[in-house]
Amino acid sequence: MADSPQPQFKEGDIAWMLTSTAFVWLMIPGVGFFYSGMARSKNALSLIMFCFLTVPVVAMQWFIWGYSLSFSRTGGLFIGNLRNAFFMNVRGTPTLKVESVPEIVHAIYQGMFAAITPALAIGSAAERARMMPLLVFIFVWSTLVYDVIACWIWSANGWYRTVEGLDFAGGTPVHISSGAAALAYCVVLGKRHGHGRDEFKPHNIVNVILGTVFLWFGWFGFNGGSAFGANLRSAMAIMVTNTAASFGGLAWMLMDYRLERKFSALGFCSGAVAGLVCITPASGYVTPPVSVLFGIAGGIACNLAVKLKHILDFDDALDVFAVHAVGGVVGNVLLGFFADKDIAALNGEIIHGGVIDGHPIQIGYQLASSVAGLAYSFCATALILYIMDKIPCLKLRMDPDDEEVGTDETELGEPAYYFLDRVVNSIQVQIATKTMSSTQQPQLLSQSIDHLHYS
Asked if pLDDT for residue 417 goes beyond 90, the answer is no
Q: What is the DSSP letter of 421?
A: H
- Are the C-beta atoms of 172 and 151 separated by less than 8 Å? no
Asked if pLDDT for residue 2 goes beyond 80, the answer is no
Radius of gyration for the chain, computed over Cα atoms and rounded to the nearest angstrom: 22
- Spell out the domain ranges in the chain: 11-394, 400-454
Residue type, 425: N
- Are the C-beta atoms of 238 and 224 separated by less than 8 Å? yes
Residue type, 446: S
Q: What is the DSSP letter of 346?
A: G
Asked if pLDDT for residue 249 goes beyond 70, the answer is yes
Q: How far is CA 24 from CA 46, 59, 413, in A?
A: 21, 14, 30
Looking at the structure, give the CATH architecture of the domain made up of residues 11-394: Orthogonal Bundle (1.10)
Mapping DSSP onto H, E and C, the string for 11-35 reads HHHHHHHHHHHHHHHHHHHHHHHHH
pLDDT digits (tens, 9 = 90+) for 89-112: 898 888 878 888 999 999 999 999
What pLDDT sits at residue 270? 97
Instruction: Give which of 340, 337, 230 is closest to 284, Cα–Cα.
Output: 340
Instruction: Give which of 238, 68, 231, 216 is closest to 155, Cα–Cα.
Output: 68
pLDDT digits (tens, 9 = 90+) for 274-322: 999 999 999 999 999 999 999 999 999 999 999 999 999 999 999 999 9
- Are the C-beta atoms of 70 and 150 separated by less than 8 Å? yes
Per-residue pLDDT band for 186 (boundaries 50, 70, 90) equals very high
Could you write out the DSSP letters of every residue in 116-185? Answer: HHHHHHGGGGTTTB-HHHHHHHHHHHIIIIIHHHHHHHHSTT-HHHHTT---SS-IIIIIIHHHHHHHHH
